[in-house]
Amino acid sequence: MEEKTTPVKKNIATPLVVANENQTKISKAFGYTPEEIFVIQNNVAKGTTNTELAYFINVCKTMDLNPFNKEVWCYKDNKGNLLIFAGRDGFLSKAQKNPLFNGIRSMEVCVNDEFTMDVANNKIVHNPSFKNRGDIIGAYCIVFRKGGEPTVEWSDCKVYDKGRHTWSSHKAEMIKKVAECHALKKAFGISGIQSQYDFEVQDGIAVQKSPESRHSAVAEIMEEGVQND
């Protein structure tokens, strides 16, 4: 009697992601794999149309920023506005690729610190009172360029700190990141992408924080300073 054999079933791997036709077309135009485009659109470019996705990918390539480690991402609000953002790491990555980059310094300032800032002459005097510094009121950042003057920026907590999320537990690091973003962006003329800290979402709409409040805070520090009696 002939013995019957059971056919062996082959294990066919199921792809983790399946790109659609449009994602495949975009991948061919910009040098990504279709699967990478799928991941980008479903993580850092949510809700984008094909045209918006292609625009975002083009910005990533042009600016040499990596969307996979969130150096850059985009946000589409309820009104259909598309904004491309970078955090401190994105701006720093862009600046460090410039051969003129020559370093960055930043620190938070507290109410009991001795602090004066003279932007016109690129001078900052900061003597922290480490025994009792008091509340954090802001942060400054200085970005240096080879062969050029340093860029000095001040960011005030009154404008940016809403007491939410990381701000409530790591205020010093957060306000320093704001100042660093502004200084890096200005020092190297980085355009086409926004600082994530300059916008907030209100009822699903991205709203830029008032430039007047930022400017008045800088003027106050420049004129009065923060000094111990």
Residue-wise pLDDT for 78-99, tens only, equals 888 899 999 999 999 999 999 9
By percentage, how much of the chain surpasses pLDDT 70?
Answer: 85
* DSSP-derived secondary structure for 22-49: HHHHHHHHHT--HHHHHHHHHHTSTT--
Same domain, yes or no, for 51 and 136?
no
Q: Which residues pair with 194 in a beta bridge?
A: 85
- Of the three residues 53, 68, 86, the one that is the final residue of a domain is 86
- Cα distance between residue 80 and residue 48, in whole Å: 9
Same domain, 100 and 30: no
30 within domain boundaries = yes
- Please indicate, yes or no, if residue 197 is contained in any of the structural domains: no
Distance CA 30, CA 37 (A): 10
Residue closest to 82 by CA, chosen among 210, 205, 189, 211: 205
Are 167 and 183 contained in the same domain?
A: yes
Q: Which residues are paired to 200 by β-bridges?
A: 207
Q: Say yes or no: 133 and 178 in one domain.
A: yes
What is the domain range of residue 123?
91-189+209-224
Confidence check: pLDDT of 75 > 70: yes
Q: What is the pLDDT of residue 219?
A: 38
Within 10 A of 98 (CB to CB), how many other CB atoms are there?
Answer: 15
Kindly list the strands in the beta sheet with 82-86, ordered across the sheet, starting from the edge strand earlier in the chain. 73-76, 82-86, 194-195
Asked whether the predicted pLDDT for residue 226 surpasses 70, the reply is no
Instruction: Based on the fold, state whether residues 97 and 79 are members of the same structural domain.
Output: no
pLDDT above 90: percentage of residues in the chain = 66
Q: Is there a contact between 75 and 45 (Cβ–Cβ < 8 Å)?
A: no
Quick one: pLDDT band at residue 6, thresholds 50, 70, 90?
low
Domains contained in the chain, number:
2
Q: Check residue 12 and give its pLDDT.
A: 52
Confidence at residue 9, expressed as pLDDT on a 0 to 100 scale? 54
Would you say residue 73 lies in a domain?
A: yes
Nearest to 198 by CA among 85, 35, 105, 118: 85
In 41-192 the beta strands, taken as DSSP E runs, fall at 73-76, 82-86, 101-110, 114-118, 123-127, 136-145, 151-156
- Residue 103 located in a structural domain: yes
Same domain, residue pair 28 and 125: no
Q: What pTM value is reported for the model? A: 0.80
Please state, in angstroms and as integers, the Cα–Cα distance from residue 183 to each residue in 92, 104, 105, 192, following that order: 10, 9, 10, 16
Indicate if the pLDDT at residue 225 is higher than 90.
no
Look at residue 81 and tell me if it is in a domain. Answer: yes
User: Are residues 162 and 105 both part of a single domain?
Assistant: yes
